[in-house]
Structure formats: C-alpha cells, structure tokens
Structure 1
Amino acid sequence: MAESEFPELNPGFLDSASGTWRKPVSANEERIYNILTPHPRILACQGIAEMDYDDCLILEYHSNGDLWTYLLNNDPPPLANRINWALEIAEGLSYIHSKAVVWADAHLSNVLVTRDLHVVLADFAFSLISPSPFHALTTLPPPIFACPKGYYGRTSNRVDIFAFGVMLFALLMRRFPWTTNLNPRLDEQIQAMHTHGEYKWDVIEDKILKDYFGPVVEKCFKIGYTNGKEIFDDMKEIGAKWFQEVENKQ
C-alpha cells in the first residue's frame, strides 16, 4: 500500500471518472474521518482508493469550491444566506468537539459550499483527538484566523473557537477584522494577527448585527466559550431572534 510522504500537505485532485475528490491518505486524517462521518456538516468520506502511487481518501466533490473563494468570486450573497452558513459552521464545530476532536485548521478555505448552497467542514489532516489544554497547537492557518498565543492553555479548543469568531465576523461584515475586504494581503493579515495578539478586537459597525451577533464574536475572540456546542446554542437562539425580526419587518 502506497502512502505519500507528506499527505497532509497535498490538497488532492478531482477524479473525473468518479466525480469524487481524491486526497493522498494521511493516517491522522483517515482516523478523524472515521470518527466524524457521516454527518451533514462534515465532508463525506467514501473510503480509500488503492492506487499505484498514493493511496487516496475518496471524498465527496463540491463544484462550488471553498467558501472563501466562493465569497470572492460571486455576487455578495444575501445576509440571510451568510448567517445560515455561520449557523451551519457552528453546527459542524459543535459536532466535531462532541467527538473530542479539535479541528485545528479552522478557516473559510476549509469550508466547502455544496450544490444546494449549504456548507460542510473539511480538511482534518492536522486535527487532534483529546489534546491537553496545554498542547502546543502548531497548525498555521492563514494569519487572519490565528488564535493569539497568549491563550495557550485556556482550552484545547481555543484555536477553533477564535477562528469561528473571525469567520462569523467576515460573513456578517464581508470583510475580515482590521481589514477593509475579504481578500487582505498577507502583510495585512499578519498585522491583524499581531493586533489580536494585543487583545484588541475589531467591532461590527452595523448596530442591529452588533446587538445580535456582536456578543458571540467578542466571546469567541476572548475564548469565553469552552466548546462548539456553546457557540452553536447561542447562534441558534440569536439567529432565530434575528430571522424573526426580519420576518416581522416584511
């Protein structure tokens, strides 16, 4: 059985014959998928294809690509869609944490958009099972999503919690914290990361969205949650109130 030397770094390829995504097997990612699937918010893994070169995970393919690219390359989706995506990401994160898994690489490029415009979470090559709160999480997501190092030891889920706050902020505001858009240069991301390291938080300008979702964003940035279920519970309650207000105004 063949296995790539660094499978976790290989994004894989589309197998046009089967319409599936093939990704070189990583023992860790295979183990994580076995723990997490099936679930409607997790990318479906259909097993392993034994090949002459690299054995591959057989993953469901979503032609809409990842959420970050989708947001950049399409007309701005309605706010209701973006809030629903945040709710679905929170649902997936809640499930991941319920299985004692830390995603550890949470960002919008690892969220895929399905054909019916829902989202699923993907890429678990760097995920961990039941790590200690003092585990040195060395995964390097795009800098804008990076959890401040000062939170080391707060909770093993801290990197996922902080990254969810960044994703929620970006989906609500159509820009990342401390930037002006959804496509910040690398130096802008690094500067935002340093600002977060000083425990300074950008705020939601829209008063209504700030009143509803601002507390969730701030609580994520301050690691006021201990797991994804707490985030999802708040998001469900707040989201229901927001959608009710929108309906009442129509």
Structure 2
Amino acid sequence: MTFALDIARGMEYIHSQGVIHRDLKPENVLIDQEFHLKIADFGIACGEAYCVPLADDPGTYRWMAPEMIKKKSYGRKVDVYSFGLILWEMVAGTIPYEDMTPIQAAFAVVNKNSRPVIPRDCPPAMGALIEQCWSLQPDKRPEFWQVVKVLEQFESSLAHEGTLNLVPNPTCQDHSKGMLHWIQKLGTVNPNSTPKPKT
C-alpha cells in the first residue's frame, strides 16, 4: 500500500504542475535507500497543453491507455490508466498480458477492450479502484489526488482493522459503482487544491 501511495502522490504532484508523464510503468519507478518510490524517466513527458500523439513505441503498450494507442487526443488521465495496471501488477505479482507480445496486448485493449483478470484474492475495494483507473472512458477515471485519498483510506483500514475490507458503500453489492460514487463525492471536497511537493 505504501508503494502505491508513493507513486500516486508523486503523480499527483506531477499533474499539479501541468505535466503528463505518458510512460508510467514499473521500469520508470525507482526506489531510494529509505524504500520510498520516485517517478523517473520523463523522456516523453509533455506539458498538458502541448501534448501530441507519439510515434509507435511497442515497449510501453502493456501500460498504455487505449486513446494513446489509437493516437487520439488525450490528457493526463492516460497516466491514471497506466497506474491502474501498475496497481494490478502489485496485486497479481506478474506483468499485464504476460502471455501476449506488446503488439498483441495493444490489439486486445483497443479492439476487444481487454483488461487483465483481477485475482480472486484481491479485496473488492482494491479491485474496484483498479477497474476505475483503467476505465475505457478517460472522464470516468479518477484524478490522482482522488486516488491518493482512496489509498489513504485503504491504508488506514489496514492499520486499524488489519484488513482491506473497506468498501465505499457497504450496502452496495456492485463495488465498482460504489467506488465510482465515492470518487465522485471526493470531487466536491477539494477541486482546486494545490498539492505540496513531497520532501
């Protein structure tokens, strides 16, 4: 959970500066001597106002949002999509689309709206957050500051109850809808906050 929070907080700051990373994947996350994760490799990052579709880069297809693969216009939510796959990787312990080449993975995502299978032992609330992050429609993906708040709630639940059975709406059987509702509620709390850089 701490690792996921480190990445989300780093991305929250990057997005607050108007920058889209565009290549968020495990290889571009470093760990320091205190076991804190840092976002690295800004080689294809761009200012949000100036981003243009990239030339093909098969190495990043496994974590690339559908709108980037299709070379459609896109915004910072492409990074949230990639983060969803990193979260899945943390839960599953393997790379996404392991049995496919990067090109096959891109084809499956774009033409079949395919996503990796959420492991059965993944807590429903975490599974719902992952699915929210990799939603096909960018406007249904949360902002990183919202992801940070959700992950902080998860961390608190783990610390106090020793479990991640935290569900945004316990009476709602569909955890994804509960998560979406919770994230939408967060949107009214803090829409113009400027996150402080982590020191």
Q: Normalization by structure 1: what TM-score? A: 0.55
- Residue 212 (structure 1) aligned to one of 97, 119, 125: 125
For 2:26 and 2:144, the matched residues in 1 are separated by: 16
1:173 lines up with 2:173 in the alignment:
no
The residue that corresponds to 1:231 in the other structure is 147
Structure 2 gaps of 5+ residues are 165-199
SS at match of 2:30: strand
The residue that corresponds to 1:75 in the other structure is none
Matches within 5 A, 1:14-29: none
- Residue 158 (structure 2) aligned to one of 228, 234, 242: 242
Say if 1:98 and 1:84 are closer, same or farther in 2 by CA, change over 3 A: same
- The structure in which a higher percent of residues are strand is 1
Say if 1:220 and 1:85 are closer, same or farther in 2 by CA, change over 3 A: same
Identity of aligned residues (%): 22
CA drift at 1:138: 4.4
Contact 2:4–2:87, Cα closer than 8 Å, also in 1 = yes
1:157 lines up with 2:157 in the alignment:
no
For 2:103 and 2:127, the matched residues in 1 are separated by: 23
For 1:190 and 1:138, the matched residues in 2 are separated by: 14
CA drift at 1:96: 0.5
Matches within 5 A, 1:1-250: 83-131=1-49, 135-138=52-55, 140=57, 141-148=59-66, 149=69, 152-153=72-73, 155-179=74-98, 187-197=100-110, 198-207=112-121, 209-222=122-135, 223=138, 224-225=140-141, 227-246=143-162
For 1:85 and 1:112, the matched residues in 2 are separated by: 11
Contact 1:225–1:231, Cα closer than 8 Å, also in 2 = no
- Read off the aligned partner of 1:111 and give its amino acid letter: V
- Read off the aligned partner of 2:92 and give its amino acid letter: M
For 2:49 and 2:132, the matched residues in 1 are separated by: 22
- Read off the aligned partner of 1:199 and give its amino acid letter: N
CA drift at 1:237: 1.9
Say if 1:243 and 1:123 are closer, same or farther in 2 by CA, change over 3 A: same
- Read off the aligned partner of 2:153 and give its amino acid letter: E
Contact 1:97–1:229, Cα closer than 8 Å, also in 2 = no
Q: How many residues align?
A: 157
- The structure in which a higher percent of residues are helix is 2
For 2:129 and 2:86, the matched residues in 1 are separated by: 12
- Read off the aligned partner of 2:53 and give its amino acid letter: A
**Greater relative contact order, per chain length (Cα 8 Å cut-off, separation 6+):** 2
SS at match of 1:142: helix
Contact 1:88–1:119, Cα closer than 8 Å, also in 2 = yes
Superposed CA deviations along residues 9-50 of structure 1, whole A, max 9, x for unmatched, are xxxxxxxxxxxxxxxxxxxxxxxxxxxxxxxxxxxxxxxxxx
CA-based RMSD: 2.6
